[in-house]
Amino acid sequence: MDTELTGRAAIVTGGAGGLGAATVRHLVGLGLHVAIFDRNADGASALAVEVGHQTVAVGGDVNDDDDVATAIDAARDMGPIALLVNIAGGGVKSQRTVARDGTPHDKDAFAYTMAINAAGTFNVSRLVAAAMAANEPDTDGQRGVIVHTSSLAGLEGQAGQVAYAAAKAAIAGMTLPMARDLAPLGIRVCAIAPGTMETPVFQNAPEALKQRLVGDVVFPKRMGRPEEFALAVEMILQNSYLNGEVIRLDAALRFPPK
Ligand SMILES: NC(=O)c1ccc[n+]([C@@H]2O[C@H](COP(=O)([O-])OP(=O)(O)OC[C@H]3O[C@@H](n4cnc5c(N)ncnc54)[C@H](O)[C@@H]3O)[C@@H](O)[C@H]2O)c1
């Protein structure tokens, strides 16, 4: 992006979480003002207090249009919205399509996983893109950038991950058509598909599980750092020729079947 970032705004959904907080800190370091949008309102507020005056916390749900509108207003109060990073999401307890005892996968768990990841990403994107359309274009005609968070699970999901894999595949799948849809508005769309990242979800895991999780990572043989995710967001933001692409961030990890 050839536009000066200072004085422009970003929205980070899931901004109170592991990858989200690292992204918020990184974007503030680039000079952006950031709306930290998360259903964990206390976590978002604590981060805003810690990071300081370039941020505002908005507690809310990515599938609630009023909450999203509040986040958009809060961001626009700080500057034109140059960037949306969709990070909110997560998984449910591992379940097979049919469990070993014959029980079919819980239908509500599948729908919930699709809602917080895929529907939420789509919902925030459509509303924020409409707001970005009012921005002055840069010399490339660009008005904004949207970054989604998919997962390796969405590309090569393992046994027991059917709901999460489907939800993250939906995010990967919406990236190119959304980039095509939003091209006339000058908005680029990319997704990051992280491997295993060392966020609180895994930080507190037993050492044996951590060892197993890094077992198939090729190099460097460790979990990814949240700051490395934030760097990938910056790369997408700054490089105007990246569009419609799902970028793996995985140290050459390929998930085994289970
Ligand atoms: N950690 C990893 O290894 C990894 C790997 C691949 C993909 N991801 C994805 O990256 C994202 C962040 O992962 P993380 O490890 O930082 O998890 P995290 O649980 O620390 O952060 C997720 C944040 O999203 C928020 N959130 C969830 N549903 C929401 C909703 N409906 N509305 C608003 N906020 C909501 C949560 O409150 C939380 O703060 C998730 O989408 C996850 O699926 C993580």
Evaluate: CB of 59 within 6 angstroms of ligand 1. no
| Tokens matching residue 8 | 């422009």
Instruction: Give the per-residue pLDDT at 3.
Output: 55
| Tokens matching residue 108 | 């509500």
* Among 82, 5, 69, 78, CA closest to 37: 69
- How does the average pLDDT of the chain come out, rounded? 96
The number of the ligand 1 atom at minimal distance from the alpha carbon of 120 is 31
Instruction: Give the per-residue pLDDT at 53.
Output: 86
- Statement: residue 212 has pLDDT above 70: yes
Can you give the residue ranges of every domain in the chain?
9-249
Q: Residue 78: left if φ>0, alpha if ψ -120 to 50, beta else—which one?
A: alpha
Output the CA 89–ligand 1 centroid distance in Å.
4
Output the CA 54–ligand 1 centroid distance in Å.
22
Residue with CA nearest ligand 1 atom 20: 17
Residue 241 annotated to the active site: no
The number of the ligand 1 atom at minimal distance from the alpha carbon of 63 is 31
Mean pLDDT over residues 68-75, rounded?
Answer: 99
Burial grade of 89 (CB within 10 A; 0-12, 13-18, 19 or more):
buried
Instruction: Give the per-residue pLDDT at 199.
Output: 95
Categorize the per-residue pLDDT at 4 as very low, low, confident or very high, splitting at 50, 70 and 90: confident
Instruction: Give the per-residue pLDDT at 210.
Output: 87
The number of the ligand 1 atom at minimal distance from the alpha carbon of 224 is 3
pLDDT, tens only, 22-71? 999 999 999 999 999 999 999 999 999 999 989 999 999 999 999 999 99
9-249 topology per CATH: Rossmann fold (3.40.50)
Instruction: Give the per-residue pLDDT at 2.
Output: 47
Output the CA 149–ligand 1 centroid distance in Å.
9
Calculate ∠ Cα 152-156-158, nearest 5°: 100
